[in-house]
């Protein structure tokens, strides 16, 4: 069933995100019949393009970013009829706002849902929100979607929230974190709260530690300008990994309502033990890759990939130990890490249960390990020991494996698809509330401050490895190991 007809206005419509993610996501939903033919997608950006030229760019982008068997010429043509373009700098009050307004008001009822999607530089968000509002484009059925990063630290995040909040009420602000759009991340909620057995064991009595990894094989991908000013902590940890952490660690929400859910998530973030900026090494390892190999090929160092080969100290890898100061999690480390140029592209959550007592089967039984594979190939595995068939009590480890639902459907659904339509429906459950962003920034900001005073800079790691030695040491203190070292 299609969602009600809407107008989607994208600021930053010629940018990489729009081409790589937003248009393909809308196309797929259109192809599945969830978007009505009288809905409109209006791209805006500075370049002076007409509808036809923009549509051709969109066609090209779909060709590159949608799988061939999902691309049907006739469907693409029908989809492109929804697409319009208005040349406009959203951050300036002059420009073709009248043109945009006329377009939006033509052939549409006054209460039609309008989504303003901000895929521009984040320092423009406040101005765009102001212009949208002052030019009379915002109505009661309007929503604004903000891409990450919201700010670069706690102060700037607060300012963005305040500036946008002046023109849009909080319940119409949709801060997108595409990790919440991932099927396997949402599934953590089902796994935890639909299985009483797991629910009962989900605490410090049973769980030894938790690891959350988001590793990527890619390097800078030509995004040096943005990335070098950001680094892995701001790019991945503050948002994506802390969001996954909230879902793994939160208390049972009263319901699945947006605010019930987000109340619990925010509680996790505000319960994180503050880190000591003067003693960061006890909890945080940071790395930057030097040359090595990726996918069997020699790849250059981070600094060589940067335009101008600067002496940048930006981290391309972070591993950290977070602790949650509440009854459920007291004393259970949550190890988070993310890096570029790792050996594989993998996002997973590993829940390490406590070891057993020695006895019946010889030495102490190792604790079970629940692995939630977020990508690629979503799965949940929980290996169990069973008796080896025969005359003795030897043990075999079997994989109690479950794929998530129907993999052929899930695999190709991109995280943006569901979220973009949730914004149309006005369902904010899988979006980040103001207090969540701010609590997450509050926790990571001392790390940024500590680093800015530490001249030693990040530790080096060879491209194609699991990060610097300091990441391993972080766990060794407690006798823990990263998952790939267990497997090895």
Residues 234 to 293: which contact ligand BG6 by CB under 6 A?
235
- 441-452 burial, b at 16+ Cβ within 10 Å, e below that, comes to bbbbbbbbebbe
CB of 152 to ligand BG6, least distance (A): 13
Residues 34 to 73: which contact ligand BG6 by CB under 6 A?
none
CB of 319 to ligand BG6, least distance (A): 17
CB of 244 to ligand BG6, least distance (A): 11
Q: How many residues bind ligand BG6 (CB under 6 A)?
A: 4
Q: List the structure tokens of 396.
A: 């075999």
- The CA distance from 364 to 161, in Å, is 52
What's the DSSP call for residue 406? Answer: -
- The CA distance from 233 to 214, in Å, is 12
- Binding of ligand BG6 at residue 348 (CB under 6 A)? no
- Measured from the CB atom, the residue of 7 and 235 that comes closer to ligand BG6 is 235
CB of 302 to ligand BG6, least distance (A): 13
Query: Mapped to the 3 state alphabet, what secondary structure does 413-457 carry?
Result: CCHHHHHHHHHHHCCCCCCECHHHHHHHHHHHHHHHHHHHCCCCC
CB of 225 to ligand BG6, least distance (A): 13
Site string for ligand BG6, 225-244 (x = CB under 6 A): ----------x---------
CB of 178 to ligand BG6, least distance (A): 6
CB of 466 to ligand BG6, least distance (A): 17
Q: List the structure tokens of 96.
A: 């073709």
Site string for ligand BG6, 155-194 (x = CB under 6 A): -----------------------x----------------
- Measured from the CB atom, the residue of 186 and 347 that comes closer to ligand BG6 is 347
- Binding of ligand BG6 at residue 216 (CB under 6 A)? yes
- The CA distance from 139 to 161, in Å, is 19
Contacts of 92 (CB under 8 A, 6+ apart): 127, 131
DSSP 300-366: --HHHHSTT-------SEEEEEE-B-STTTTT--EEEEEESS-SS-EEEEEEEEPP--SBTTBSPPP
Residue 240 is a catalytic residue: yes
Q: Is the C-alpha dihedral spanning 54, 59, 60, 65 positive or negative?
A: positive
- Measured from the CB atom, the residue of 95 and 339 that comes closer to ligand BG6 is 339
Q: List the structure tokens of 484.
A: 């790939």
- The CA distance from 272 to 240, in Å, is 16
- Measured from the CB atom, the residue of 208 and 216 that comes closer to ligand BG6 is 216
Residues 127 to 146: which contact ligand BG6 by CB under 6 A?
none
E strands, 216-311, in order: 284-290, 292-294, 297-299
- Binding of ligand BG6 at residue 417 (CB under 6 A)? no
Contact (CB, 8 A) for 372 and 351? yes
- What is the chain's alpha carbon radius of gyration, rounded to the nearest angstrom? 24
- Measured from the CB atom, the residue of 215 and 268 that comes closer to ligand BG6 is 215
- Measured from the CB atom, the residue of 49 and 372 that comes closer to ligand BG6 is 372
- Measured from the CB atom, the residue of 216 and 438 that comes closer to ligand BG6 is 216
- Measured from the CB atom, the residue of 25 and 80 that comes closer to ligand BG6 is 25
Contact (CB, 8 A) for 62 and 84? no
**Nearest CA among 249, 478, 209 for reference residue 367:** 209
CB of 216 to ligand BG6, least distance (A): 5
- The CA distance from 184 to 375, in Å, is 8
- Measured from the CB atom, the residue of 207 and 432 that comes closer to ligand BG6 is 432
Own/partner pairs for 298-303, CB < 8 Å, 24+ apart? Answer: 299/219, 299/341, 299/463, 299/464, 300/219, 301/463, 302/219, 302/220, 302/340, 302/341
Q: Which of 84, 178, 240, 480 is catalytic?
A: 240
Rounded (10°) angle between helices 183-194 and 242-249:
20
CA-to-CA dists, residue 303 to 223, 311, 335, 336, angstroms: 13, 7, 27, 24
The residue with its CB nearest to ligand BG6 is 235
C-alpha torsion 274→275→276→278, nearest 10: -150
- Catalytic residue ranges: 240
Residues forming contacts to ligand BG6 in the complex (CB under 6 A) are 178, 216, 235, 347
């Amino acid at each position: 069933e299609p969602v009600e007809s809407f107008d989607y206005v994208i600021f930053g419509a010629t940018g990489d995100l729009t081409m790589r993610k937003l248009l393909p996501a809308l196309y797929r939903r259109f192809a599945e019949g969830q978007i009505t033919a009288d809905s409109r997608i209006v791209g805006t950006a500075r370049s002076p393009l007409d509808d036809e030229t923009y549509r051709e760019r969109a066609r090209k982008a779909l060709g590159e970013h949608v799988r061939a068997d999902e691309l049907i010429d006739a469907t693409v043509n029908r989809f492109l009829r929804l697409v319009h373009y208005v040349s406009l700098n959203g951050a300036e009050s002059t420009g073709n706002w009248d043109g945009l307004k006329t377009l939006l008001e033509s052939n549409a009822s006054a209460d039609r849902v309008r989504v303003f999607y901000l895929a521009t530089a984040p320092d423009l968000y406040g101005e765009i929100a102001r212009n949208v509002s002052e030019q009379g484009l915002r109505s009661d059925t309007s929503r604004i979607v903000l891409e990450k990063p919201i700010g670069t630290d706690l102060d700037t995040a607060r300012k963005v929230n305040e500036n946008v909040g002046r023109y849009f009420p909080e319940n119409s602000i949709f801060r997108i974190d595409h990790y919440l759009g991932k099927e396997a991340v949402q599934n953590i909620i089902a796994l935890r709260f639909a299985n009483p057995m797991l629910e009962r064991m989900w605490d410090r009595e049973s769980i030894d530690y938790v690891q959350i990894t988001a590793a990527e094989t890619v390097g800078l991908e030509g995004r040096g300008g943005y990335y070098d000013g950001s680094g892995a902590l701001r790019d991945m940890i503050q948002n994506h990994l802390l969001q996954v952490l909230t879902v793994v660690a939160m208390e049972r929400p009263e319901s699945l309502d947006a605010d019930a859910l987000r109340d619990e998530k925010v509680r996790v973030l505000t319960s994180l033990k503050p880190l000591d900026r003067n003693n960061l090494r006890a909890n945080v390892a940071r790395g930057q890759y030097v040359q090595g190999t990726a996918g069997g090929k020699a790849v250059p160092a981070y600094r060589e990939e940067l335009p101008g080969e600067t002496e940048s100290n930006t981290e391309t890898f972070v591993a950290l130990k977070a602790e949650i100061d509440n009854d459920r999690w007291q004393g259970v480390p949550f190890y988070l890490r993310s890096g570029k140029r790792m050996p594989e592209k993998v996002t997973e959550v590993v829940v390490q249960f406590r070891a057993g007592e020695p006895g019946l089967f010889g030495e102490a039984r190792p604790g079970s390990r629940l692995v939630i594979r977020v990508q690629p190939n979503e799965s949940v595995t929980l290996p169990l020991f069973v008796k080896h068939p025969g005359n003795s009590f030897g043990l075999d480890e079997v994989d109690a494996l479950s794929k998530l639902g129907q993999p052929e459907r899930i695999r190709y659904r991109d995280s943006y698809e569901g979220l973009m339509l949730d914004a149309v429906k006005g369902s904010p459950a899988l979006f980040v509330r103001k207090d969540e962003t701010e609590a997450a920034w509050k926790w990571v900001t001392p790390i940024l401050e500590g680093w800015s005073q530490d001249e030693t800079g990040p530790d080096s790691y060879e491209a194609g490895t699991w990060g610097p030695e300091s990441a391993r040491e972080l766990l060794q203190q407690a006798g823990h190991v990263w998952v790939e070292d267990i497997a090895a």
